[in-house]
Structure 1
């Protein structure tokens, strides 16, 4: 952007001396009057006329329809050229200014009211705004009404395809009719700004001014979605296969969508565009990209699942880690909902001890980004729950790359366990040596019987990195088995063998029957979310 264009935009937003009017008047003086009249005859709004002639959007978006019409009328001598009938004069004058018309403004046949800032809201009420600042004010009221705290914003716009199609048709018409005239190549090129970009650029400065923050690549999005009843009906009635049908005309190939034009000569103005009587329906949605709050959790109960566990409308377990953490994080972030992600999972009857398991809470559309102090309060609140089922540590707000890193690191991570094991004979000194001497033992595990109903029947090779046996005083058949394994290893099956589906197993190594009585996870090693 040049210094001159920057100065122009600043003047438009802040000027009280009519500087924008003078700029427009100068620009309009160089436009071909007969082409302007032609576009107005086809119900193309003044803002679209300026846009198609590559006049900067920052100027005309801030000027009211009444003043815009006055400028274009003076430049094209509209009053003198459209006196054929009072009805035609009324049509032209009512095109862009409800103040100059006795009736309702005509809707632009190209932008369908988008750049006229006319639309139907979610309650199907007709809303008419004079210029970009008026419209921006309405948008900001919605943002503030949703109580979002923002440090920047991204403006997104979605438009019906009918706008693109109608613009293509009007461009083809103008080219067929005026391509031989000297002004056409200089002023009416195919590189003009689109309706979508014109709206976004027109709205950016007023929104920045009213919100007090800059537009940038931001996690907070303001999305304006426009839909038009006529366009939707045409798409439904014709189907996608007919939407890009083309026909030959006397002056070349003209794009045609069923319901938007009739076949015929592209220079025939009556066959070009279907006039629309109503503006688009506009839906405004403010949303923030998910934020992630992560840390490590410890689970002290053997009756708490990691996530909500409901079978046949009956809850399993007294609570879940997901709920105990998530429902204490969500209110502080004032979000719409949350998802729980963890680096693996333990069974409901397995405790998570030691350093804890890495986890993330993904909060949707958070209206408040917690500070370090708020996060510490979250951690304190969770850890002070009377149930004392779950604790968290090292809680912090994390960037969105952590989720990908957690998924990518799953295959490489290691887990350490402590298992209370019973064997069918007395333990011997040789058993301790036999177990501890095994390093990076490869184990082949067929999908366990207990999870066959929800997992594919596959053979999976896993690695037991190391093991050691800790004897229990006064007991000859019970011991604690400490082991470190590759992620995804079924520990219970590694102990008892799962009817031969896991091999080798502790039972096969010791040559006796083995059963696991209790199991705890004591460490989950990952490069991220470490202390």
Structure 2
């Protein structure tokens, strides 16, 4: 190969790469950096099937990791700088510019991998690999505002790198270049090098920045040799390694014979790194942090449960608030599923009126982030259902803090009710005065009999903040009870006493039997989603 050559960045889509001037500048920095590489050490790494990008990585030459050119050009740079004929031979052996699978990165830094169909995929450039990822993102997600790139690698990569580093340190520790530069210390990991090489191209292609984001792009690499019985034995015997820098090895050296790592000295005669015939499997997955859409719901029917209620494959009630809201919001967000959360709950036969009960719909892995206009459409669609069982208002997108506020409100806020009550005798003015005069009445409630099958048997102290009685014309034993209570109070039991498990109760306060015939929730006071 001639000493003179022309460096031409090869990029599948010029819009993905940095500008020509930027690439040229990086190439010049790369050329200058490799001038000082020790030729014998480079030759040693090439002999042991270490790819060109890992060579640059081991010598902390970052330009060689993410510069947007093919491996052939990178090898030619090394050849010119080190004048190694071995590099020319290496390049001549590469079919169509492809190298053998790297014994350290197992193809990761060569952008070679096997997909889920066991098909071999090979990309020459970081930009091409990033483009493949970006196209997959765009197929499933129409709107993202940023992304986080996550990479998971097999431990075999760390182990093989430790073997190589140990061998190189042992062999070249006495060399001047090694002592002057403290070579192979604090090297960049394969994981970080991969991120460094593709992040910029991903940002350009997706049109958003990489940051701490709700949207995650995850590359999961696995290698069959990493899970074999032979390799597991090697891992167990490698636990005595002493780490230094990124991976370790200060005083201990390891050798690899027949793919089993053992403690001991390393020499040219017994150093043997297992050949890697195929690159890793790579699975590309995406995940979006949950989108929370909150509001208040009104339940207008006494035959609708708050959540799905199915016993022995038989549905209880006409429907559920959860389904009526969630099934209409989910398609508009194109998510994988949803979870329904509310600030407390009411029984199936209790209506939720007045200001409504705060709720959250947690949309999982939403591919479409709703706008204010689409939120209004959701509200209109739910309120326009012919069944007219449930209505919603004040829908809005909330951050994850909405969940914390919801749980806080469920336990600590006040709720107002209206109940139709029957008592076993005629009501009089003294009864009205007795109940209306009670303020912040402390009530001790044992877990009600009707929910003992699903709730722990506990004693709960709750507060009835105030009560008012409204007479019903033409009836002496029926009245409307309006009351404000601490969240979590069992209202039905407060009226009839639950066989003495709730005390005091309306029945005990009036000295007669009391039953609740109908109950409505009229207000749930919370800081979140107030009108």
Same fold (TM over 0.5): yes
Q: In structure 2, how many angstroms separate the alpha carbons of the residues matched to 1:362 and 1:114?
A: 36
Equivalent residues in 2 for 1:33-52, closer than 5 Å: 33-52=39-58
How far off is 1:332 after superposition? 1.1
Q: In structure 2, how many angstroms separate the alpha carbons of the residues matched to 1:239 and 1:81?
A: 32
* Structure 2 residue 60 is matched with structure 1 residue 54: yes
How far off is 1:241 after superposition? 6.3
Unaligned 5+ residue runs, structure 2?
Answer: 1-14, 243-249
| Closer/same/farther in 2, CA of residues 60 and 234 from structure 1, 3 Å limit | farther
Give TM-score, length-normalised by structure 1: 0.90
2:212 alignment partner, one of 205, 209, 217: 217
Equivalent residues in 2 for 1:132-211, closer than 5 Å: 132-184=126-178, 185-186=180-181, 188-211=183-206
1:68 alignment partner, one of 54, 65, 74: 74
Q: In structure 2, how many angstroms separate the alpha carbons of the residues matched to 1:211 and 1:183?
A: 42
What corresponds to 2:247 in structure 1? none
CA contact (8 A) 2:30 2:64 kept: no
Equivalent residues in 2 for 1:302-321, closer than 5 Å: 302-321=302-321
What corresponds to 2:5 in structure 1? none
CA contact (8 A) 1:234 1:259 kept: no
What corresponds to 2:10 in structure 1? none
Q: In structure 1, how many angstroms separate the alpha carbons of the residues matched to 2:231 and 2:431?
A: 74
What corresponds to 2:104 in structure 1? 110
How far off is 1:319 after superposition? 0.6
Q: In structure 1, how many angstroms separate the alpha carbons of the residues matched to 2:37 and 2:425?
A: 101
Equivalent residues in 2 for 1:40-439, closer than 5 Å: 40-57=46-63, 60-79=66-85, 89=89, 94=93, 97-100=94-97, 105-184=99-178, 185-186=180-181, 188-234=183-229, 238=233, 244-246=239-241, 252-254=251-253, 260-263=259-262, 265-268=264-267, 270-271=270-271, 273-439=273-439
| Closer/same/farther in 2, CA of residues 45 and 215 from structure 1, 3 Å limit | same
Give 3-state SS (helix, strand or coil) of 2:301's partner. coil
Give 3-state SS (helix, strand or coil) of 1:193's partner. coil
What do you get for the CA RMSD once the two structures are aligned? 2.6
Q: In structure 1, how many angstroms separate the alpha carbons of the residues matched to 2:370 and 2:87?
A: 63
Q: In structure 2, how many angstroms separate the alpha carbons of the residues matched to 1:162 and 1:80?
A: 27
How far off is 1:499 after superposition? 0.9
Count the aligned residue pairs. 508
Q: In structure 2, how many angstroms separate the alpha carbons of the residues matched to 1:485 and 1:11?
A: 61
How far off is 1:100 after superposition? 4.2
Give 3-state SS (helix, strand or coil) of 1:483's partner. strand
How far off is 1:80 after superposition? 5.4
Q: In structure 2, how many angstroms separate the alpha carbons of the residues matched to 1:80 and 1:426?
A: 107
Unaligned 5+ residue runs, structure 1?
Answer: 1-9, 83-88
Q: In structure 1, how many angstroms separate the alpha carbons of the residues matched to 2:257 and 2:315?
A: 54
Q: In structure 2, how many angstroms separate the alpha carbons of the residues matched to 1:474 and 1:293?
A: 46
Give TM-score, length-normalised by structure 2: 0.90
| Closer/same/farther in 2, CA of residues 23 and 370 from structure 1, 3 Å limit | same
What corresponds to 1:3 in structure 2? none
CA contact (8 A) 2:301 2:351 kept: yes
How far off is 1:147 after superposition? 3.6
CA contact (8 A) 2:57 2:64 kept: no
1:14 alignment partner, one of 8, 16, 19: 19
Give 3-state SS (helix, strand or coil) of 1:443's partner. strand
How far off is 1:483 after superposition? 0.9
What corresponds to 2:497 in structure 1? 497
How far off is 1:170 after superposition? 2.1
How far off is 1:12 after superposition? 6.6
Give 3-state SS (helix, strand or coil) of 1:263's partner. strand
How far off is 1:190 after superposition? 2.1
How far off is 1:183 after superposition? 1.9
Moved more, 520-529 or 156-165: 156-165
Q: In structure 2, how many angstroms separate the alpha carbons of the residues matched to 1:407 and 1:18?
A: 57
Deviations 1:153-188 (A, max 9, x none): 211111112222222222222222223323225162
Give 3-state SS (helix, strand or coil) of 1:411's partner. helix
How far off is 1:61 after superposition? 4.3
How far off is 1:75 after superposition? 2.9
Give 3-state SS (helix, strand or coil) of 1:108's partner. coil
Q: In structure 1, how many angstroms separate the alpha carbons of the residues matched to 2:86 and 2:456?
A: 80
* Structure 2 residue 443 is matched with structure 1 residue 443: yes
Give 3-state SS (helix, strand or coil) of 2:302's partner. coil
CA contact (8 A) 2:71 2:97 kept: no
Moved more, 183-192 or 33-42: 183-192
What corresponds to 1:86 in structure 2? none
Q: In structure 2, how many angstroms separate the alpha carbons of the residues matched to 1:314 and 1:29?
A: 77
| Closer/same/farther in 2, CA of residues 264 and 218 from structure 1, 3 Å limit | closer
